[in-house]
Amino acid sequence: MTKTEFEPAIPSRPVYGVLHPAVGSAHLFVADGEGAGAVCDALTSAPALKAAAHVIYIPGANGSDHTGALQALGVAQFHRAPSFAAALPRLTKVLADAHMGMQIYAAGTEGLMAQVAAAAQAAGLPYEAVQMEHRGSLARRVQCVHCKGVTENVTLDPFQCSHCGLTLFVRDHFSRRLAAFQGVCIDAEDPGQIPASVERFK
């Protein structure tokens, strides 16, 4: 899969690299959608890691599902989860049980990577402990600044908050703690004057 080229962005938005297999006692990979490609690339370049690798995979919201390719890697543990929320209890357990030297990798959408980093931080690890590689969809995870609800997989701008129904424009301002971009009511000053949505995040 092609790696994503990002436009220059404001400083709160993370920048992503390429997964580099590191020396470690265990290797935890969490990926969604096209992020599977980054996991395959990393483990193909360092096959010795497979015996100590645990892969958690969530098929993409856009339908991309590379479960077969990941299973074919022959890693020590593979788990396919239907959503990040469903994967979180397992991820939390793995992080809590981790020993010194476990390497953590996240690949796929920005929302997935940020949520993995947030889970790692909740387990006491620094943000930098998670290697990240963006692959596939640019769909955004957006928090409504008004009702605080998070809408997943936002591709349109503006879009309707899935919680309170306000029409929000999507800022580039990004919170690592919330693992989300910020959504702000677009017609606050002129209620009802809402421009047409465009697909900004494919």
Q: Which residues are at the interface with another protein (CB under 8 A)?
A: 10-13, 143, 145-146, 148, 166, 171-178, 182, 184-185, 188-191
Q: DSSP letter string over 36-65?
A: HHHHHHHHHH-GGGGGGEEEEEE--TTS--
Measured in whole angstroms, the distance separating CA 28 from the mean position of its chain's CA atoms is 14
Cβ 4 to another protein shortest distance, Å: 20
Measured from the CB atom, the residue of 25 and 175 that comes closer to another protein is: 175
Measured from the CB atom, the residue of 129 and 184 that comes closer to another protein is: 184
Cβ 99 to another protein shortest distance, Å: 24
Cβ 189 to another protein shortest distance, Å: 4
Measured from the CB atom, the residue of 135 and 140 that comes closer to another protein is: 140
Burial class of residue 113, CB neighbours in 10 A (0-12, 13-18, 19+): buried
Query: CB under 8 Å to 3, separation ≥6 — which residues?
Result: 18, 133, 134, 135
Measured from the CB atom, the residue of 98 and 166 that comes closer to another protein is: 166
